Chain A
Amino acid sequence: MPDHASTGAAPRTLFDKLWDAHVVVPETEQTPAVLYVDLHLIHEVTSPQAFAMLRERGLPVRRPDRTLGTVDHAIPTAPESWRSGLLDMDEAARHQIHALGTNCGRSGIRLLGVNNSRRGIVHVVGPELGATQPGMTIVCGDSHTTTHGAFGALAFGIGTTEVGHVLATQCLLQRRPRRLAVVLEGQLPTGVTAKDVVLALIGEIGVDGGTGQVMEFSGAAVRAMSMDARMTLCNMAIEAGARAGMIAPDDVTFEYLEGRPMAPTGVAWDKAVSRWRGLASDPDARYDDRVSLDVSGLEPQVTWGTDPGMVAPVTGTVPASPDSEQAKALEYMGLRPGQNLLGQQVDQVFIGSCTNSRLSDLRLAAEVIEGHRVAPGVRMLVVPGSQETKRRAEAEGLDRIFLAAGAEWHESGCSMCIAMNGDRADPGRFVLSTSNRNFEGRQGAGARTLLASPLTAAASAVAGCVVDPRRPLQRDRRIA
């Protein structure tokens, strides 16, 4: 790949390179660009109406080979539910899952169905299989598709009508978004994770701070992150309203992908890596805007309100003089203005979701909880992001650590992040959750969500209240 210096072309960002490479028909003032989609991920909840539209119009799926289905949102995860053969599953959910099976079967689309051993959350299984690769455009009828940007892909969520457009044409009509550089400098302190970084960032720029923009995360803190951590970061770009989040691929990316079932092999692998190395933004590439954050002094973060931007350091307080929006949030949350986050009661703890359900997340939580017990009255759910993650965690004995502590160990799925599958919290209950949204009712009507990292969640499960994961847990909570 010629670099811009030798060709005299203008320097380009990672985003520019991906956009340019996928334009089928350029945009004009009158018409958006026709943009090619390399990988289309589908799931049971946002695809049935799109398949119905194709049927009504007599259109085939153009590229079933570029489409991959999984079942995650509506599928139960509770072990007792699976032992009973999913007899307790909601009829509508069962119908929806059945429809996905029929639609994929008729169209020749590979489906990681209910009994498939590689099934899991769409944004966990794509990377895990190596289906997600640098340089790709990836879309899915799910806003957290931004996750895949961690690999240097241009990945974003779409609506169901657009799912239909991609099924029928493998293309989307898109206007070119603006580019926002997010530079994360410094070294993450012990006990502080990518989740804390992204929550702090959203707190800083707001839940609409990324609207109309594609974020590119760069800087020393990003380079030092594992792929799991980078996925957590890009996953929540949408919570700042961004169209996508992206990170230039590097050796960490290639090491993660090499040998995965759908990754290239042999000579093709070497050629792919050399092509992927050319994707990083050119040194003088221009962005439309830029924010920077030094993570060296960052504390673990916990949300106190009803959007992910309502967040504070774990040792901090909720606003003492809330504005009207904050006051409404505090009323819903049942929190007092000015109160400490430390010591806030927790009724339920959820470790899971496309944000924090990967092996490294489960390891972090297990390390904290090993040898302790979940506090009396607290229900803790640990829900791996995929069946493969579950098997690997079990091979390391993580399930036994969680079960010995009194936590529940589930089958994979979206679980309590979306609460449309049987896993949810009762009205008024406080849930400390590693998921991505603390919206009203997100984890059950009337339930109150506090978002945090797996470290903070696991430590707080043991204490029965919000604690600082950087401090040792009290001895009296140890298993005798």
Chain B
Amino acid sequence: MDAITSFASRTVVLPRDNIDTDQIIPARFLTTTGREGLGQHAFADWRFDRDGCPRADFVLNEPAAAGCDILVAGHNFGCGSSREHAPWALLDFGLRAIISTGIADIFRGNALRNGLLPIVVDTDSHRELLAAPGAEITIDLDACLVTLPGGRGVTFEIDAFARYCLTQGIDPLGFLLDRKADITRYEEARQWKH
């Protein structure tokens, strides 16, 4: 995975709360053994009508959404199913960060492991972002700082290990594999049978 440090982009705003992973990618697209090309199905039932035509009134279909790498979404983004196809689809669709006031646990972990930044900000900063769709903002992962449309900087929390992996382009599996001796010792010391 490429290292991520800082980037700037315009935002696209999807202000609904509790956007679940079934909306991000409906289950009928999960009969795949790969992880590529899922962006075409991102938000499929919101982007397309039943005949497969783009819905003109959906924000991600608006011309201004093209080239936006940052999605500002409502509270509790990514709730529901653990499908990692959700961050795969969002990344393939072209997004690099989700900003919300709350992000569901499993989605947050899946996103971090794929280089999609799940960023939680306070309600006031979130309101400022919601009010300025299309604004250019900067995300600095080294400094854990989002620069809001008005120029104010707001810090965000991100797990120290996840940030280290993302900024250095390190795969966490390598860290686990390096603990092989500890794992073997643990297995040998385990007294119980199951």
Q: Is the CB of A96 within 8 A of B31?
A: yes
- Chain B residues whose C-beta falls within 8 Å of the C-beta of A141 in the assembled complex: 82, 84
- Chain B residues whose C-beta falls within 8 Å of the C-beta of A207 in the assembled complex: 18, 76, 79
* A141-B82, A207-B18 known; A136+B194 contact, CB < 8 A: yes
Q: How far is the CA of A239 from the CA of B18 in the complex (A)?
A: 11
Q: Is the CB of A241 within 8 A of B175?
A: no
Q: Is the CB of A307 within 8 A of B18?
A: yes
Q: How far is the CA of A173 from the CA of B26 in the complex (A)?
A: 28
Interface residues of B in 166-182 (CB under 8 A from A): 172-173, 175-177, 179-180, 182
Interface residues of A in 132-157 (CB under 8 A from B): 133, 135-136, 141-143, 157
- Chain B residues whose C-beta falls within 8 Å of the C-beta of A171 in the assembled complex: 176, 179, 183
CB distance from A6 to the nearest CB of B (A): 20
CB distance from B17 to the nearest CB of A (A): 5
CB of A95 within 8 Å of the partner chain: yes
Q: Is the CB of B31 within 8 A of A90?
A: yes
CB of A25 within 8 Å of the partner chain: yes
Q: Is the CB of B182 within 8 A of A34?
A: yes
Query: Which residue of the partner chain, among A31, A90, A208, A243, contacts B102 with CB atoms under 8 Å?
Result: A208
CB of A48 within 8 Å of the partner chain: yes
Q: Is the CB of A420 within 8 A of B27?
A: yes
Interface residues of A in 430-451 (CB under 8 A from B): 437, 439-442, 445-446
Q: How far is the CA of A419 from the CA of B81 in the complex (A)?
A: 13
- Chain B residues whose C-beta falls within 8 Å of the C-beta of A32 in the assembled complex: 159, 161
Give the residue name and chain of the A residue nearest to B86 (CB).
Answer: A159
CB of A170 within 8 Å of the partner chain: yes
Q: Which of B27, B79, B159 has the most CB of A within 10 A?
A: B27
Q: Is the CB of A46 within 8 A of B193?
A: no
Q: Is the CB of A211 within 8 A of B109?
A: no
- Chain A residues whose C-beta falls within 8 Å of the C-beta of B45 in the assembled complex: 440-441, 445-446
- Chain A residues whose C-beta falls within 8 Å of the C-beta of B176 in the assembled complex: 34, 165, 168-169, 171, 173
Q: Is the CB of B32 within 8 A of A96?
A: yes
Contact with B along A56-93 (1 / 0, CB 8 A): 01010010000000000110000000000000001011
CB distance from A47 to the nearest CB of B (A): 9
CB distance from A245 to the nearest CB of B (A): 13
Give the residue name and chain of the A residue nearest to B192 (CB).
Answer: A275
Query: Which residue of the partner chain, among A30, A36, A175, A418, contacts B186 with CB atoms under 8 Å?
Result: A36
Q: How far is the CA of A449 from the CA of B32 in the complex (A)?
A: 26
Q: Is the CB of A99 within 8 A of B31?
A: no
Q: How many residues of B contact A (CB 8 A)?
A: 52
* A93-B31, A441-B26 known; A158+B183 contact, CB < 8 A: no
CB of A249 within 8 Å of the partner chain: no
Q: How many residues of A contact B (CB 8 A)?
A: 69
Q: How far is the CA of A170 from the CA of B179 in the complex (A)?
A: 11
- Chain A residues whose C-beta falls within 8 Å of the C-beta of B75 in the assembled complex: 208
- Chain A residues whose C-beta falls within 8 Å of the C-beta of B104 in the assembled complex: 208, 211, 241
Q: Is the CB of A170 within 8 A of B183?
A: yes
- Chain A residues whose C-beta falls within 8 Å of the C-beta of B105 in the assembled complex: 211-212, 241, 243
CB of A9 within 8 Å of the partner chain: no
Give the residue name and chain of the A residue nearest to B81 (CB).
Answer: A143
CB of A395 within 8 Å of the partner chain: no
CB of B5 within 8 Å of the partner chain: no
CB of A5 within 8 Å of the partner chain: no
Q: Is the CB of A441 within 8 A of B22?
A: yes
CB distance from B148 to the nearest CB of A (A): 24
Give the residue name and chain of the A residue nearest to B103 (CB).
Answer: A211
CB distance from B29 to the nearest CB of A (A): 8
Q: Is the CB of B17 within 8 A of A325?
A: yes
CB distance from A73 to the nearest CB of B (A): 8
CB of A190 within 8 Å of the partner chain: no
Q: How far is the CA of A36 from the CA of B176 in the complex (A)?
A: 11
Binding site for B on A (CB under 8 A): 24-25, 29-32, 34, 36, 38, 45-46, 48-49, 52, 57, 59, 62, 73-74, 90, 92-93, 95-96, 99, 133, 135-136, 141-143, 157-162, 164-165, 168-171, 173, 175, 207-208, 211-212, 241, 243, 264, 268, 272, 275, 307, 325, 328, 418-420, 427, 437, 439-442, 445-446
A sample of 18 cross-chain residue pairs with beta-carbon separation below 8 angstroms, ordered by A number, consists of A29-B160, A49-B34, A74-B31, A90-B31, A143-B106, A158-B109, A159-B113, A161-B114, A161-B173, A165-B173, A173-B172, A208-B75, A208-B79, A307-B18, A325-B17, A437-B80, A437-B81, A439-B22
Binding site for A on B (CB under 8 A): 16-18, 20, 22-23, 26-28, 30-35, 45, 50, 74-76, 79-84, 102, 104-106, 109-110, 113-114, 159-161, 164, 172-173, 175-177, 179-180, 182-183, 186-187, 192-194
